[in-house]
């Protein structure tokens, strides 16, 4: 086994390629879009387990220089009453574009080839490898095909034509960076408000800089064309109307935001029955998409990449290595997806749901404080030992 064809050059693809190279497998990344993703997206928070996965392949120092440390989360209801406070030890909030650029540049430095404008249309697995076929007529042979091609994964449907479609979560996403605004909130603390009509979160990251996101409710799924038709002025007006009257600094934050990223819908993939076939496999969002409220999308993809590389390093038979990877990952990622679904539901709660949330969340916070975070240790304390051999 000498070469992996990786599909998708988002966040998961470059990390998967670097992990494979560290395991002794050559890897090239093929991306459908002609251009890279520099300047695309708002930001994300990398939890400590995601950073730990990057550490396994020598990437933790790369991320340490990006973004801002995020020490805790404070949650309030629509009246401004504090419901709960949760620690976020070791977490880091980073600009998505900055993270993408850093990972891509490091992958190039480590010898990963990137091919843009390569939209996968088909793949043919044979006894000793696989051939990927692209829309421009090219065919690329490899020893295995890794689908890191996200929510709408083509590799997933090639592996299993009956694979489930993404499940719509009735929320949109919006976000941006406010500059020239000073707020009294503690730097590095995510301030979250379950507003009357819209969830809103902001975090002070500098002397006069605030990063924020919102989740406008959207009961009916909109098409790409409908979402694209919502221009910048309309997006800003919609957010103002939804956030008006809530005791948060949303209005001032919007005033100081030059460009608002608005309108990408929320989906999850609760369970994908088939992750691999012959010499093709999926990882990250292509195999299990958690709603953004889980805060674990990138972390799960990074963990996947490291575990897959370990399995291919230590298990000589490719199908057996894939099976070992699935055994290591499936239960964990499906638990994360379920948790993300629950937290998303809380954001669109009606009057009865709000009452249950306002009564239940302080209780949950007290219980977690009493057990010193043990209830979440399964998530955040997860550690991958790169040096340890995978047992079949």
CA 153/CA 272 separation, integer angstroms: 12
Contact by Cβ (8 Å): 327, 352: no
User: 39: which 2 tokens?
Assistant: 């300047």
Q: Cα(328)–Cα(287) distance, rounded to whole angstroms?
A: 14
State the pLDDT at residue 370.
Answer: 76
State residue 243's pLDDT score: 98
Looking at residue 305, the DSSP 8-state letter turns out to be H
Collapsing DSSP states into helix, strand and coil, what is residue 359?
helix
Q: What count of other Cβ atoms lies within 10 Å of the Cβ of residue 348? A: 17
CA–CA gap between residue 237 and residue 243 (Å, rounded): 10
Q: What is the distance of C-alpha 139 from the center of its chain?
A: 30
Q: What domains can be seen in the chain, in order of their start residue?
A: 3-166+269-380 (3.50.50.60), 168-268 (3.30.9.30)
Q: What are φ and ψ of residue 18, in 5° steps?
A: -65, -40
Structure token digits, residue 8:
């998708």
pTM of the model: 0.95
CB-based burial, 284-314: b 16+ in 10 Å, e otherwise: bbbbbbbbbbbbbbbbbbbbbbbbbbbbbbe
Among 9, 30, 5, 21, which Cα is nearest to 103's?
9
CA angle, 23 then 25 then 27, to 5°: 120
Comparing CA positions, the residue from 73, 70, 66 lying closest to residue 94 is 66
Cα–Cα distance, 108 to 94 (Å, whole number): 21
Decide if 385 contacts 374 (C-beta within 8 A): no
8 A C-beta contact, residue 309 and residue 148: no
Helix, strand or coil, per DSSP, at residue 262: strand
CA atoms 110, 12, 33, 39: torsion sign: negative
pLDDT of 342 reads 86
- Cβ neighbours of residue 321 closer than 8 Å, sequence gap 6 or more: 311, 312, 314, 315
Cα gap 35→338, rounded to integer Å: 34
Residues in the chain predicted with pLDDT less than 70, given as ranges, are 1
The tokens of 68 are what?
Answer: 């801002």
Instruction: Say which residues have a Cβ less than 8 Å from residue 26's Cβ, sequence separation at least 6.
Output: 2, 3, 4, 20
Alpha carbon 331 to chain centroid distance? 18
Position 252 scores a pLDDT of: 98
pLDDT tens, 77-123?
999 999 999 888 899 999 999 999 999 999 999 999 999 999 999 99
Q: What is the Cα–Cα distance from 261 to 112, expressed in whole angstroms?
A: 30
Residue 1 pLDDT: 61
Comparing CA positions, the residue from 383, 388, 386 lying closest to residue 48 is: 383
Distance of CA 32 to the CA centre of its chain: 19
């Amino acid at each position: 086994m000498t070469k992996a064809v990786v599909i998708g050059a988002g966040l998961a693809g470059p990390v998967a390629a670097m992990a494979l190279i560290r395991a002794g497998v050559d890897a090239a990344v093929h991306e459908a879009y002609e251009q890279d993703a520099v300047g695309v997206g708002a930001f994300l928070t990398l939890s400590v387990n995601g950073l730990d996965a990057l550490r396994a392949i020598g990437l933790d120092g790369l991320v340490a220089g990006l973004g801002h440390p995020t020490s805790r989360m404070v949650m309030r209801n629509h009246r401004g009453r504090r419901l709960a406070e949760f620690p976020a030890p070791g977490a880091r909030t980073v600009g998505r574009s900055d993270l993408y650029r850093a990972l891509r540049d490091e992958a190039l430095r480590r010898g990963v080839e990137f091919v843009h404008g390569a939209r996968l249309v088909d793949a043919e697995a044979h006894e000793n490898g696989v051939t990927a076929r692209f829309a421009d007529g090219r065919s690329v042979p490899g020893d295995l095909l890794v689908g890191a091609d996200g929510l709408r994964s083509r590799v997933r449907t090639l592996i299993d034509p009956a694979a489930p479609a993404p499940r719509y979560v009735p929320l949109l996403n919006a976000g941006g960076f406010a500059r020239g605004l000073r707020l009294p909130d503690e730097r590095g603390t995510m301030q979250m408000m379950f507003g009357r009509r819209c969830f809103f979160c902001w975090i002070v990251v500098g002397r006069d800089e605030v990063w924020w996101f919102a989740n406008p409710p959207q009961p009916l799924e909109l098409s790409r064309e409908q979402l694209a038709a919502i221009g910048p002025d309309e997006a800003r007006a919609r957010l103002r109307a939804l956030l008006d009257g809530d005791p948060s600094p949303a209005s001032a934050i919007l005033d100081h935001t030059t460009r608002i990223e608005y309108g990408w819908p929320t989906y999850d993939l609760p369970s994908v029955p088939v992750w691999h076939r012959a010499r093709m496999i999926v990882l990250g969002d292509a195999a299990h998409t958690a709603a953004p409220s889980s805060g674990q999308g990138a972390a799960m993809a990074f963990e996947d990449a490291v575990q897959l590389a370990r399995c291919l390093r230590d298990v000589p038979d490719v199908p057996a290595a894939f099976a070992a990877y699935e055994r290591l990952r499936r239960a964990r990622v499906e638990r994360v997806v379920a948790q993300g679904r629950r937290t998303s539901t809380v954001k669109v709660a009606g009057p009865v749901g709000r009452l249950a949330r306002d009564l239940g969340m302080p209780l949950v916070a007290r219980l977690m404080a009493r057990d010193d975070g043990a209830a979440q240790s399964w998530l955040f304390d997860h550690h991958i030992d790169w040096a340890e051999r995978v047992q079949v």
